Structures are given as C-alpha cells and as structure tokens.
Amino acid sequence: MKNLVPWMTIWIVISWYGSNIGVLLLNKYLLSNYGFKYPIFLTMCHMLACSLLSYAAIAWAKVVPMQSIGSKKQFFKITGLSLVFCFSVVLGNVSLRYLPVSFNQAIGATTPFFTAIFAYLMSQKREAWITYVTLIPVVAGVIIASGAEPSFNLFGFVMCVSATAARAFKSVLQAILLSSEQEKLNSMNLLMYMAPIALAILLPTTLLMEGNVLGVTVALARKDVKIVYYLLFNSSLAYLVNLTNFLVTKHTSALTLQVLGNAKGAVAVVVSILIFRNPVSFIGMLGYSLTVLGVVLYSESKQGNK
C-alpha cells in the first residue's frame, strides 16, 4: 500500500501551497510591515529571478523541452502578454500596501467573473446560463466583504480589482493570441520568454517612478542585511510559484487543480490572519465564504458543460 501513495504529487502540492502563500505573505510584510514601499522594484526582482531560473530549469535541468519563438509576429504577441502580465503583478503588489491579505484574496477570487466577461467581449465565447448564474455569489460575496472590511482602503481596492481584471484579461488574451498549434507554448517556456520582456519594461518604469529605490535599498542593507535575504528569497519564491503551478497541472487532473486552487485561497486567508492579526468581521468572512462558494459552483458548472 505504501507504494500507492503519490508522494511526489503530495510534495508538489505542498510546495505549490507554500510558495504561493509564502510569496503573498512576504510581499505584504515587505511592502507594508517592513516599510519597503517599492512595489515596481519588487516586481522587477521577481521578473529577474523568473528570467534566470526559468532558463536554468529548461536549458540545464530539462524540466520541459525548450520551445522556440517561430516568428516576429509571435514575438510581438508575447510582448503584449508580457505588458499585461507585469501590469497585473505590479498592481497586485501595490494593493498589498493598502489591503490585508485576507481581503486581497477575497477580491482575487473574482477572477472567473472577469474571465467570463473578457471571453465574451473579445471572442464572443458564451457560457451556459447556469455558469453565469454562479457568478452572482462570486460578486455579491466581495460586495458584502467590502462593506464589512475594517481595513478597507479605496485606492487599494481599486488596485486589487484592476490586478484581478488584468490577470483574467491576460489569460483570455493568451488563449486568443497563442491559439494555433505552431504558436502554443507551455507555461514554463512562455514564462522564460515573458519574464525578460517584462524586466525590460519594468526597469525604466522603476527608474522613472521609484528613482531612489537603489539608494534606499543599499542604505537599508547597510543597516539591516536581512533585506537582501528577504528580496532574494522572495524573488525565488515568485519563480517557484510558476514552477509548482506547472507541476501541479502536470501531475493532477483539471478538476483536482480547481479544488486545490479554491482551497489555497482559504488557507492563505487563515494563515495571513494568524500572522498579521488584521481585524476581520463575521460579515466579512461570510462574504468571502460566499465568493468561494460561487467560485466552486462556477468550476463545477464549467466542468459539467465540457
């Protein structure tokens, strides 16, 4: 019976949970509690790590076969995706400066709502009516949670909603742009090409909007060398999120992935509340639970209509 236990899959799922929740909590700690108020630079560090580590994983470790970009047209499509990708990550990091992780995750759970809207607007893709009905509790739950959130911040809320919409837009755009068999890239190869482009976009943006970040980081490092370790560990975790997400997709079914993903958000909320001790209300948690229930029903309806 011991040989029947899928230990590899279990460890991959644990790593996926740990890296996802870890990078989220460390982002919050750095940007809010630690006082490192440079979300664009932090995102740039993430993209640098993803560039280096994704190349190492594919070219040296042979995690997946290397796929090449076949044309200038495909390159420009990937560049467009990179722009949306880094836009969503930056906005998500900005929101963490102003919102608790628990509320951030509640808003992030509305991704299916935005995905359904963009899929309809951009490709006229229609879902079954029951699928659209399941989106009602998804949105209603966030409305309830917003009204009862003790740490509500309007700017942080707008940034988080924008980041969530951008993530959904990126997934729909990716399905449209890289739809042909010749242009399809697995997620690891796509990250390897997107991350350097995102890095090239973020570098001048950081210098323009956060011009003193290097001086501040060096000064902080002289006072407290831990900031260097925080940034290195945080950036490595950002890559590990993408790697473990790919491995979980590879080693489990689509339905299992959906269930695990729904549970991951709930675990992140509980862990963040225990660590940061941010105030929560019963009505707020009820709203988040309603959103999660809506996402579960949405996943079930999508699965049933395949």
The percent helix, strand, coil of the chain (3-state, each to 5) is 80, 0, 20
pLDDT tens digit string along 182-206? 888 999 999 999 999 999 999 999 9
The answer as to whether 8 is a domain residue is no
The answer as to whether 7 is a domain residue is no
pLDDT tens digit string along 255-284? 677 778 878 888 999 999 999 988 889 999
Q: What is the mean pLDDT of residues 120-146?
A: 91
pLDDT at 154 over 60: yes
- The whole-number pLDDT of residue 239 equals 97
Q: Are 184 and 127 in contact (CB under 8 A)?
A: no
Q: Fill in the amino acid letter for 191.
A: L
The answer as to whether 115 is a domain residue is yes
If you write DSSP's letter for every residue of 218-231 in order, what string do you get?
Answer: HHHHHH-THHHHHH
The answer as to whether 4 is a domain residue is no
State the residue for tokens 């190492």: 56
Domain count, the chain: 1
For 5, the token pair is 């236990």
- The whole-number pLDDT of residue 1 equals 44
- The whole-number pLDDT of residue 229 equals 96
For 61, the token pair is 């470790």
Classified as helix, coil or strand, 253 is: coil
Helix (H) / strand (E) containing 258:
helix 254-276
pTM (two decimals) = 0.90
pLDDT tens digit string along 12-39? 999 999 999 999 999 999 999 898 999 9
- How many Cβ atoms from other residues are within 10 Å of residue 259's Cβ? 15
The answer as to whether 22 is a domain residue is no
> Which among 222, 159, 164, 206 has a CA at the least distance from the CA of 45?
206
The answer as to whether 183 is a domain residue is yes
pLDDT band for position 78 (cuts 50, 70, 90): very high
The answer as to whether 6 is a domain residue is no
For 281, the token pair is 């209300």
Q: What does the alpha-carbon distance between residue 190 and residue 249 come to, in Å, rounded to a whole number?
A: 15
pLDDT band for position 254 (cuts 50, 70, 90): low
Give the domain extent around 133.
35-304
The answer as to whether 16 is a domain residue is no
For the CA atoms of 274, 277, 281, 287, the dihedral, rounded to the nearest 10 degrees, stands at -50
Q: Are 292 and 266 in contact (CB under 8 A)?
A: yes
Strands (E), 4-139: none
For 120, the token pair is 């309809």
Q: How many residues does the chain have?
A: 306
Q: Are 103 and 32 in contact (CB under 8 A)?
A: no
Signed CA dihedral, 97, 103, 105, 106: sign only: negative
pLDDT at 85 over 80: yes
pLDDT at 3 over 60: no
pLDDT band for position 119 (cuts 50, 70, 90): very high
Range of weakest confidence among 24-28, 183-187, 229-233, 240-244 = 183-187
Signed CA dihedral, 32, 35, 37, 41: sign only: negative
Q: What's the Rg (C-alpha) of the chain? A: 19
- How many Cβ atoms from other residues are within 10 Å of residue 71's Cβ? 10
Question: How far does the chain reach from its first CA to its final CA, in angstroms?
Answer: 34
Q: What is the mean pLDDT of residues 151-168?
A: 96
Q: Are 28 and 272 in contact (CB under 8 A)?
A: yes
